[in-house]
Amino acid sequence: MVVGVSDPVRTLYRTLLAYGAFAILILIAGVAEYVHFEPFTSSASVHAKAVGVYAYDPATKQTSGPDRERFARNEEFAAVVDWSGLPDNITVEAVWFDSFENVVGSVGPGTPSQLRSQTIVPAEVPQGLKYHLPGEYIFAIERLDNGRPVEVIGRRVVYVER
Amino acid sequence: MSAFSTPTAANPRPRNRPARYILAVVIGAVVLLVVAGNSLLDYVFIDTIPGRATLYGLVAVALIALGTYIQARAFNRDAVTRRRHLIRAGVLLGLAAMLWLLISDLFLFAESAGPGVAAVCALACVPTTAFGLWVVRRIDRNEKEPWRLVLVAAAWGAVVATSLVIWAETFWDAVAVNTLVPGPGLDASNAFSAGMFEELGKGVAVLLLFLVMRNEFDDVVDGIVYGAAVGLGFNFMETITYMTNLYAILSPEGSGGIAAGFQWYARQVLGLFMGHATYTALIGAGIGIARQLPSRRQKVIAILTGFLVAIAAHFSWDAWLTFFPIETSLFGLVEVHLRTIVMTGPFTAAVIVLLVMGLRNESRALYEQLHKEAGGGAGAVLPAEVDILASPWRRFGERLRALDKGGLGAYVRLARLQTAQLDLAMERWHRERQEIDTPLEAEQELRGEILTLRRQAAF
């Protein structure tokens, strides 16, 4: 093989390896970000109960009907949480995320006893829109540590149809 | 040594197919198995629209695999056999494309926005993608890749790679949504998924071209061309998906057209060369550099590094996009451009650096080989032609002169002659570097062809 010290292909190879080193730094930063927001050792072994997701009337602020997994875009809906089984030494919040991962409703953060009166968490239509965005909505009951969500202790996923 | 003597070939063609063909078959088989397994699992356990589409899309994928195989077989055959193989391959690839578009329309695009909107979105993306492919092919100024291979690369990106991605990402997403904390952690997880699966899906196409079409895969420049073509194909299909999806989501709010139009601009104009085209070009660059490296270890490292850089580039966009929020005011329009330039621009610049270095190496090597060939006195390249052949502009000037004197026919004949002469120089370059497995006789056949072309091109 005729590849000497001055072979320009070797220069290309070295340039590529330099890019590779930079790529490794990016991926390490990505793993660090993931671990920071999703720590492996943070489980508190508690579970919150999302009782269900129901049709919701904003006027009366009450839910009605059976627990459902699918809603139309023009339907209002809300999750019901049972905070009673949780220890009071943790900080929690309940959040609705729409299909674009925007927060579209929440209660908390607070201790379970502080949130006991807020059992209904409606998913709100984003400002400027007339209907819910279609797609998968995640309702997450999160445990917080130093103000940052570190664990999902209860979860429901519902689908808003097109 | 006379150019017309018959010495032993530097690297005689092995009696059997080279080992790389076996590797290509193994990779192809693995891709098909993954495709089949994923689609069946999706269908059984997820039963989403992509699940159904991918299951029915298996036929399209099988047709593409068969068509690509037949097309690869067409090379190094006599003209009649080659034509027959190419026609068969063309029919199969055409059928696959039509079947896939039908499936996609039915289950993905048409279901979300309706067939009319899907058709408009697809039509809007055709000219921009075609322009992208034209530019990408043009940048290989010394030896342009055949349109058929550039289009096969783009078709793989649009049809096969997107299919692989749907299955893999659907699984990953289903697991992540049910286990992770929504927010930056989930964003990072999804970005890893997109970076790995999408780049692997696209990169396999470039790798297969490298393994099977070695004669048309010379160096880093070719790798960048094929990689970018795969990326443009992927971007084509992804843009249609985003346009139709956002149209369906926002049309009840009265802003579906604007949202779809914005997606078109962001992906087909602003990000045409910056997004997927850049990422897969990085994979292609790695494979193209590997093409000319001496040891197997270095080849593997170069290929893996190309993939790694592409995955990191793609990951950084998907994971950190939210750190560059866009205002809803008019300044948001400026921010959209700045965000793309700041986040993807450095990677595009990295590709351009490799491209410029590759072009410079190639030009220098071709000049040297043309000079040596002219000095050999075989008549395939004349001393007076060396400077002209070494310069794309002067070659073009000569062709224009031929057009002026002999019409379009003369232009085409001279273009064929110049292409064959550059092919010969390229062959000599690879042989000098001992990175070619076609026999020396092939080079002598090429000289004979050039002499015939020269007679035809005389005006």
**A:B CB pairs within 8 Å:** 132
pLDDT given at position B411: 93
Residues of chain A with Cβ-Cβ distance to B289 below 8 Å are: 9, 12-13, 16
Contacts of A73 in chain B (CB under 8 A): 252
Question: ∠ at Cα A134 (A133, A140), nearest 5°?
Answer: 80
pLDDT at A32: 93
Q: What whole-number distance in Å separates Cα of residue B28 and Cα of residue B209? A: 11
The residue whose two tokens read 């919701």 is: A56
CA angle centred on A43, ends A38 and A47, rounded to 5°: 110
Interface touch A1/B294, C-beta < 8 Å? yes
**A58 touches B at CB < 8 Å:** no
* Cα atoms in the Cβ-side hemisphere of radius 13 Å centred on B169: 20
pLDDT for B35 equals 66
Q: Give dist(CA B239, CA B258) in Å, integer.
A: 14
Report, as ranges of residue numbers, the positions in chain B whose pLDDT lies below 50: 1-15
The distance from CA B162 to its chain's CA centroid, rounded to whole angstroms, is 14
> CA-nearest residue of chain A to B294?
A1
Asked if A134 and B282 come within 8 Å (Cβ–Cβ), the reply is no
In A83-142, the residues whose Cβ lies within 8 Å of chain B are: 95, 97, 101, 129-131, 133-136, 138, 140, 142
Inter-chain CB proximity B181 and A151 less than 8 Å: yes
Check CB contact under 8 Å for A27 and B360: no
Q: What is the ipTM of this complex?
A: 0.82
Report the first-to-last Cα separation within chain A, whole angstroms: 61
How sure is the predictor about A93, in pLDDT bands with cuts at 50, 70 and 90?
very high
3-state class (DSSP) for residue B273: coil
Judged by CB atoms closer than 8 Å, whether chains meet at B253 and A129 is answered as yes
Mean of pLDDT values over A63-68: 91
Convert the pLDDT of each residue in A107-140 to its tens digit: 979 899 888 888 899 999 888 788 888 888 999 9
Q: According to DSSP H, which parts of B42-161 are helical?
A: 49-74, 79-104, 110-113, 115-138, 147-155
- What pLDDT, on a 0 to 100 scale, did the predictor assign at position B12? 43
Distances (CA, A) of B145 to A134, B142, B179, B214, B364: 44, 10, 46, 12, 19
In Å, what is the CA distance from B27 to each residue of A154, B21, B149, B205?
A: 42, 10, 19, 10
Instruction: Indicate the residue type of B140.
Output: D
Over residues A22-51, mean pLDDT: 85
Q: Give the per-residue pLDDT at B327.
A: 79
> Which range, of A6-15, A27-36, A125-134, averages the lowest pLDDT?
A125-134
Structure tokens at B384: 């007076």
> Rounded to an integer, what distance in angstroms lies between the CA atom of residue A98 and that of residue A133?
7
| Spatial contact of A53 and A68, defined as CB atoms under 8 Å apart | yes
Q: How far apart (Å, rounded) are the C-alpha atoms in residues B407 and A76?
A: 71
Calculate how close chain B gets to A3, using CA atoms only, in Å. Answer: 7
Identify the residue with better confidence: A44 or B326.
B326
Burial of A75 (0-12, 13-18, 19+ CB in 10 A): middle
CB pair distance less than 8 Å for B319 and A33: yes
What is the C-alpha to C-alpha distance for residues B391 and B395, in angstroms, rounded to an integer? 6
Query: Which chain B residues are Cβ-neighbours of A131 within 8 angstroms?
Result: 252-253
The Cα–Cα gap between A103 and B95 comes to 45
pTM over 0.95: no
- A12 to B315: CB separation less than 8 angstroms, yes or no: no
**Is the peptide bond preceding residue B12 cis, with omega within 30 degrees of 0?**
no
